[in-house]
Copies of this chain bind each other. A is one copy, B any other.
């Protein structure tokens, strides 16, 4: 339907708008980025903008969808490459994240950031954000399955917590060693596995190290 999105040389008006939004919304935040700025930077007339996107919200939704596409594409590609090199288990995710954090334009997770800017949980934006994270978790579940995890769902659920936390800490400007800590955590959850709901309270496990 409509335009072929990847065709040839000069990007059309709509594509230029989306590309500019991809950059500015991520860089400065959604509320801080005015339509006028996007219009100016993408070299498009205001009417052209509103022809393609009836309101700013429509552009925000498209921004999130496109960001999802390119982020997932890059992430899975990087993971699969490392995996094909046989360089480890689930913990290779930490290396992929580290590479992302090294990008000078890194400014945290676009979805987490947008979540923080969007109060209403019923909004379309929240839905797209949830879909993105569900998609990521689903991929990691698949990954855990392929790596032979006995409880891939549980592993993925724990991995999501670790990933989100690491992204946040990196965004906060934490020490680069967060990625080491992240890697260590990922190793742990992919080696020993246990379902958190199954009587995890009264399990009798000897502490590996003295104290408490």
Which residues of A pack against B, CB within 8 Å?
27-29, 31-32, 89, 107-108, 112-117, 119, 121, 126, 129-130, 133, 147-151, 154, 157-158, 160-166, 168-169, 171-173, 177-178, 180-185, 187-194, 196-197, 200, 205-212
Contacts and interface: CB of A to CB of B under 8 A. Distances in A.
List the number of copies, as a whole number. Answer: 2
Contacts of A113: 116-117
Contacts of A112: 112, 116, 168
A123 to B, nearest CB: 12
Contacts of A29: 31, 116-117, 119
**Interface of chain A, helix or strand or loop or mixed?**
helix
Given A162-B162, A193-B207, 19 more contacts: A32-B117, A112-B112, A114-B116, A115-B116, A121-B173, A129-B172, A147-B212, A148-B210, A158-B184, A158-B185, A160-B165, A161-B185, A165-B166, A165-B168, A168-B168, A177-B197, A191-B207, A191-B209, A193-B211
Given A191-B212, A209-B150, A185 B184 contact: no
A169 B185 CA distance: 17
A28 B49 CA distance: 28
Contact of A184 (B32, B168, B196): B196
B119 A117 contact: no
A18 to B, nearest CB: 21
B169 A192 contact: no
Nearest to A26: B119
11 contacts: A29-B116, A31-B31, A129-B172, A150-B212, A151-B209, A154-B181, A164-B168, A165-B166, A183-B196, A184-B200, A193-B209
Contacts of A27: 119
A29 B194 CA distance: 38
| Residue in A126, A169, A181, A182 whose Cβ sees the most chain B Cβ within 10 Å | A181
